[in-house]
Structure 1
Amino acid sequence: MQEDLLEFSDTWHNIPTSIEKLGGIWLVRAGRNVAKPNYEVGPKQIEHYGLHFIVSGRIRLEYEGEAVDLQKGDLFCLMPNLTYRYYVLSVERLKMIWLTLNGPQTPLLLAGCGLSKAKPYSRNHMDLAVRSMLNKIEDSLWERKVHVLSRNSMLLKLFVLLECEVGGGGDLNYGHKENWVNEAVEFFQFHYTEQLSIERVARMIGVHRSHFTLTFTQRIGMSPQQYVQRLRMDRAKKLLYDQSLMVSEISLTVGYPDLYSFSRAFKKHTGCSPSEYRLNVNGCGTGEPVDLNDLAN
């Protein structure tokens, strides 16, 4: 460890790769320290997210006119562009591990751990599993031989452990947000070509099937089954513009098991067969596809 006036510390610096930046969260730097009795940081601001784990000792964290005393097992996060200050409180030697993070997923992952600008700390959050994962991350940084994907995998596993510790699920789980209908809409838009069970989707979202169907229908204006069929039909209409595609190929592409079931559903929906629609796109049924994104708003 390097010694200065306030602490003994090791610091690791990163130049994020393009793969890391596309992943949504990445390490900017990381470190560990053993503080001296006069240890004090700030008041200052940082540009990134500074997630700190207290291994031993006690500190006082001051932020936005608030102050809180933290100790071994607690964690706190320095939020970007907010003024903070923290310093040693106890005779016991203060030891910390910190991860400086950036990326668009970072605030969401921190929120899942119960950390926000209004409350940037959490108590009794560092159990044995969290400490073990922190040790693995530390080892990977100082070795410098660990693949970037392996390092990012460990970082995400750390957040899984932190999320489980608060028992929340928070923004990271389906069914815990008021806008779960929008999440269901997004799920259908991703997976409408697959054989979907509404009961299974409702279970994944985290609500009862009957409540799922009723609420979805009230919000979207059609049942989940009708919504999925509408997605399939709108996709089929677009594909029918491409004269090089066989109708049988289109039927499989949009999720029907065979040409007959697709043709029957298409004619019921539009008033004409797929072949007739292809010959005269605006001559039957509903014509142009509907933008279903508007229905979820």
Structure 2
Amino acid sequence: MPAYQIERRTVAFRNQTCHTKFSKMLGEGAPIIMKETLHEFVDLHHFMPTRFDRTGGFWLIRAGRNIAKPNYWVGRKQIDCFGLHVIRSGSLLLRFGDQQVHLHAGDLFCLFPHLSYEYQIAGEDELQMLWLSLQGPQLPELLQAIGVTPAEPYRRQAIREKSLDALQEMERLVWEQPAARKLTMFSALCRFFESLELDSPLPHQQDQPATDNWIQEAERFFQLHYTEELRIHGVADTFGLHRSYFSHAFTQKVGISPQQYIQRLRLQRAQQLLLQDPDLTVGEIALSVGYPDLYTFSRAFKRHVGCSPSDYRLST
């Protein structure tokens, strides 16, 4: 991975003398300044999430890059966010729970909120890292999609061609254009996670509900899509089940068949619209709840409710 070329200097800053490292990416000309601490040279950038950011599934609150000293050590501690770290060069020893792993250039690891971690430099090669501190409700699922979980909070050789390009674009935006438009920064974050998923050696697996709750998931699926043209074998395929087993198990658990469940959802919504929105015609309501035409809707409505849609609207 590209690492920093280093030139060490002492500079004056606000009438005080502080040690820094001037560094630059290989192939790039713009120098950067890193502050010196006890264990590292570090360059941090903090973000204040906007209301727009917090309406999304995840957002950036901090980014950092460093060059570790030979005595580099962090922990043992917990953090309140998700800290995604990429190792650019060198090696690191990560301890979590009762386990420890050696990680190297191209690997990444994540610090999960409220779990204790400890990590330190390992070996003689210079350790350099870049990290993104993130918050948001989608992050556990997002990290799982790239193969990183609390039980195994690291991924070896995660940074490959696509993810390296996305990471460098993310770094450019953070440090060279920190005031970039909201969608620009969010899109860059999405591209980085997408590249990690695409570069993952793990085959893509569609999320499947656990065996003991797939029926609840199926009910939620119907509640989301009942206005559309649904075929039961297609829904069963979504859950990785055979059509006959899906229909039989659903009927036993819920008390009605999947087709009847869909029809019940449509008619319940139709009854609401008939009462709540007098400006909608019966034909508009029929199409809005998923029936192909007024005739089919009226027959189904009268059979299950006991009167026509128009009479139902007038009677109440």
Please state which band the TM-score falls in when normalised by the shorter chain: 0.7 to 0.9
Q: Determine whether 1:213 maps to 2:241.
A: no
Matches within 5 A, 1:32-181: 32-144=65-177, 145-164=179-198, 165-167=200-202, 169=204, 173-175=206-208, 177-178=210-211, 179-181=213-215
Indicate if the aligned counterparts of 1:58 and 1:89 stay in contact, CA closer than 8 A.
yes
Greater share of strand: 2
The 3 A distance-change label for structure 1 pair 110 and 198 is same
Consecutive unaligned residues of structure 2, counting only runs of 5 or more, are 1-32
Q: CA deviation at 1:139?
A: 1.1
Q: Work out the percentage of aligned pairs sharing the same amino acid.
A: 48
Mapped to 1, the partners of 2:216 and 2:209 lie a distance apart of: 12
Match of 1:2 among 34, 37, 40: 34
Q: Distance in 1 between matches of 2:214 and 2:168?
A: 36
Report what 2:262 is aligned to: 228
RMSD: 2.3
CA contact (8 A) 2:208 2:239 kept: yes
1:278 lines up with 2:313 in the alignment: yes
Q: Greater share of helix residues, 1 or 2?
A: 1
Counterpart of 1:247? 282
TM-score by length of 1: 0.84
Aligned equivalents of 1:32, 1:206: Cα separation in 2: 43
Structure 1: 4+ residue segments shifted above 6 A: none
CA separation of 1:214 and 1:152: change in aligned 2, threshold 3 A: farther
Structure 1 range deviating more: 259-268 or 61-70: 61-70
Q: Distance in 1 between matches of 2:105 and 2:143?
A: 20
Q: CA deviation at 1:29?
A: 0.6
SS at match of 1:213: helix
CA 1:195–1:147 in structure 2 vs 1: closer, same or farther (change >3 Å)?
same
Residue in 1 that maps onto 2:27: none
Q: How many residues align?
A: 279
Instruction: Please say which structure displays the higher CA radius of gyration.
Output: 2
Deviations 1:1-20 (A, max 9, x none): 31413223322211111111
Residues 209 and 217, structure 2, Cα contact 8 Å, conserved in 1: no
Task: Check conservation: 2:35, 2:43, Cα contact below 8 A.
Answer: no
Asked if the contact 1:112–1:168 (Cα under 8 Å) also holds between the matched residues in 2, the reply is no
- Cα 1:127/1:99, change in 2 over 3 Å: same
The answer as to whether partners of 1:174 and 1:204 remain within 8 angstroms in 2 is no
2:62 to 24, 29, 38: 29
